[in-house]
Amino acid sequence: MDPEIKEVLKGIKGNRDFYPEDYAEIKLIFDAMHTVSKQFGYELYEGPILEFAKLIEYKSGRALADETYRLFDREERKLVLRPEMTPSLARLISNQHQRYPKPLRWYSIPRVFRDETPQRGRVKEHFQFNADIFGVDHPAADAEIIAVTTNIIKTSGLKTGEFVCVINSRDLLQNYIEFLKISNHLDVIRIIDSKGKFVQTAIEAELKEKGSSLNEAKEHAQLLRTVWHQDPQITKVYPEIDKHPNLSSYLNKLTEIEEQEVKKAMEEANLDSAQISKLFEFSLMKGKPRDVIASLRALDVNEKITKAIDNLEELITYLEIFEVAQDCEFDMSIARGLDYYTGIVFEFLDRTGSVARAIAGGGRYDKLVEDLGGGKIPSTGIGMGETVLLSILKALNRTPPYTHPSQIYVGIIAENVIQETAEIVNKLRKSYSVLFNPFGWKLSRQLEDANSRSIPLMVIIGKRDLEENKVTLRDMKTGEQEAILLSELELKIKEKLSL
């Protein structure tokens, strides 16, 4: 074979082929997305895969722009393969939202692209469910988005306790930082957002000092972080850690180390000791929504912050109404990377320990449409790639085995009954998926064909039966069959398939 062709046949790195069995797996998730979106009254839309590079750069910040696939059109204008849907969506809304009564509830399952190194739960192209509400800034809208996402995750096969939605309010965090009279917001938010990393970095450095190799130190520090993340109280025994005596000594000190390191980083950001202890305490607040609200209420703060807390509390009320509160936690330390979030932010995390990435993430972005010249339109929404959810489901063995779409195989015995058979096939196809291979094959081959595709029922049509207005209906699993009148065929099929 031509070597060049051989290379081409391998495809582009990180991009995916979906054979029917593969597509069937994703379709499970797609179906959940469509079903739930419909239940909540969301309308389907789509946008172009290509956008001007400027739109993405303008909106998503540079880090994201660096990872996009770039190309040029004939006029040499810079284009990108969309790395996410929100910029395109904001463009659609900004252009024509006046045509529609508010609020808008829209969803889509766009294929999006990022030119980054593939890892578990991360590929260069994937399908990313998006659901957004435009035109209301009521917390019930944020709660609804969370409810939609939770329901999709559950419909796909995860159960309560196997995932969690962690929620925070950027508004609250920002106002609290201002209240403490801290000036360099962004640095401080970054410190809080990446809290968990400090522990890893510190332990890694210490292990190296104690003589571990670079790779070993990295690996061990990460192991500790992962365990700690899954099980903060260290309630279980971890054999993989106990194997290394120098690691197990860290297990009970992780919380302490984190505090030290975070405070050190805050000091370096020029915070005074009063600010540090208050902010640190604040960042530790997390857990069941009602509990966190209670702790927040105990803080002595100003009116702006009280309002933000009221807002959070109202959010919980709606989470309870939508029956998803048990899947949610508040965590005052999450901030999320994207610059455009303004209020409630949230991410859905795996709790089964199989994938260390977020299943979904979203939040309120009230300024984005306005920034694109579309007027003041408060907005909230979610993005959920299919890859992380799918790899969790696979790890749990929750994906069903592949089945051929056809329910009935119509077999024909090679005599002159083609015309009559075609009529029967067409009639059946009005209600069922029917496979029919009228290529002059012998019956044995047709039986084998039906069998190899695991099609449950077979209708066999031959001249002798047909003369009495009958056909044979065969159950492929049991091998039982009977000759039945044509007029009763549909009824019998219905009975058989509903078993």
Which residues contact RNA by CB under 7 A?
A: 1, 3, 6-7, 10-15, 60-61, 63-64, 67, 116-120, 122, 197, 200, 215, 218-219, 222, 336-338, 347, 356-358, 361, 383, 413-415, 442-445, 447-448, 450-452, 460, 462-466, 472, 474, 476-479, 481, 483
Beta bridge partners of 385: 128
Q: How far is the CB of 440 from RNA (least distance, A)?
A: 9
Q: Considering beta carbons, is residue 304 or 351 the nearer one to RNA?
A: 351
DSSP 16-70: ----HHHHHHHHHHHHHHHHHHHHTTPEE----SEEEHHHHHHHH-HHHHHTS-E
The gap between the terminal CA atoms of the chain, to the nearest Å, is 51
**Cβ nearer to RNA, comparing 293 with 434:** 434
Please, which residue, 291 or 480, has the CB nearer to RNA?
480
Minimum separation from the CB atom of position 102 to RNA (A): 26
Q: Tell me the CA distances in angstroms from 13 to 10, 123, 128, 381, 388, one per residue in order.
A: 8, 9, 19, 30, 19
Q: Which is nearer to RNA, 293 or 347 (CB)?
A: 347
Q: Nearest distance from residue 202's CB to RNA, in Å? A: 12
Instruction: Report the nearest approach of RNA to the CB of residue 444 (Å).
Output: 4
- CA-to-CA distance for 140 and 249, rounded, in angstroms? 46
In whole angstroms, the minimum distance from the beta carbon of 414 to RNA comes to 6
Min separation Cβ 333 and RNA, Å: 11
Minimum Å gap between C-beta 226 and RNA is 8
Q: Which is nearer to RNA, 218 or 278 (CB)?
A: 218
The whole-angstrom distance between residue 314's C-alpha and the CA centroid of its chain comes to: 26
Spatial neighbors of 495 by CB under 8 A, at least 6 apart, are: none
Q: Toward RNA, which CB reaches closer, 3 or 211? A: 3
Quote the CA–CA distance of 468 and 485 in Å, as a whole number.
Answer: 8
- The token pair at 172 is 């609250």
Closest CA to 339 of 294, 375, 371: 371
State the angle between helix axes of 20-39 and 139-156 in degrees (0 to 180), rounded to the nearest 10: 150
Q: How far is the CB of 66 from RNA (least distance, A)?
A: 7
Nearer to RNA, 220 or 296 (CB): 220
Contact yes or no for 144/364 (Cβ under 8 A): no
261: helix, strand or coil: helix
CB of 304 to RNA, least distance (A): 26
Closer CB to RNA, residue 299 or residue 422?
A: 422
Nearer residue to RNA within complex by CB, 95 or 184: 184
Look at strands 408-412 and 50-52 and give their pairing: unpaired
Q: Cis (ω within 30 of 0) for the bond into 103?
A: yes
- Which tokens sit at 434? 């029917």
Coil, helix or strand for 473? strand
Inter-axis angle of helices 185-193 and 195-209, nearest 10:
70
352 burial type by CB count under 10 A (0-12 exposed, 13-18 middle, 19+ buried): middle
The smaller minimum CB distance to RNA, of residues 143 and 224, is found at: 224
CB of 483 to RNA, least distance (A): 7
Contact 162, 351 (CB under 8 A): yes
Q: How far is the CB of 172 from RNA (least distance, A)?
A: 19
Pick the closer one to RNA by CB: 62 or 74: 62
**Distance set, CA 319 to CA 46, 142, 143, 150 (Å):** 29, 9, 5, 10
For residues 411 and 447, the answer to whether their CB atoms sit within 8 Å is yes
